[in-house]
Amino acid sequence: MKFIIFLSCLILTSSILSGQAATKEDNVWKTLSKISYKKEYDELMGFKIDKPVFSESVRALEGKELTIKGYIIPIEGYKSHKEFIFSAFPYSMCFFCGGAGPETVMEVEALEGIKYSADAITIKGKLVLNDKDINRLMYKLVGAKLIKS
């Protein structure tokens, strides 16, 4: 039994030292995935739609400044943008193009233009939740700035 515990500790230490442990930025997306949906009739649409129901852990992040790692989804060309879509996954796997869910993307309003990159970047901003406007994404990061490209 002691050998198994020792081996587990050794593997954990090895993965941390090699940089394989999940970072705080990666864990934000995991927390944001803790949502469910409820069917609700929408007067404008004329039928029932899925409205997000945020878990307590997601609601606890509302209004807080978050640091999050992800990918810019180009919606108006490959240039610098102050407003863009940010995804937990690369362009080919994002919510719009791949099989991911709507909880894996967010709108971003940056303080300054952030140059497009196909590589992951890290940004920081304040989280706003949206469960009312079906024409917007459910997450928005405002006052965002680039931390690491």
> pLDDT value at position 80?
78
> pLDDT value at position 121?
97
Q: Which residues contact 9 (CB under 8 A, 6 or more apart)?
A: none
Indicate yes or no: pTM above 0.95: no
Tokens matching residue 29: 């997306």
Cβ 56 vs Cβ 72: under 8 Å: no
Give the position of tokens 């894996």.
104
Domain boundaries, the chain: 23-34+62-148
Q: Is the pLDDT of residue 69 over 70?
A: yes
What value does the mean pLDDT take over residues 119-139? 95
CATH of domain 23-34+62-148: 2.40.50.870
Mean pLDDT of the chain: 81
Q: Given pLDDT bands bounded at 50, 70 and 90, which one contains residue 8? A: very low
- Residue 126 to residue 103: CA distance in whole angstroms: 17
Phi (first) and psi of residue 40, to 5 degrees: -145, 135
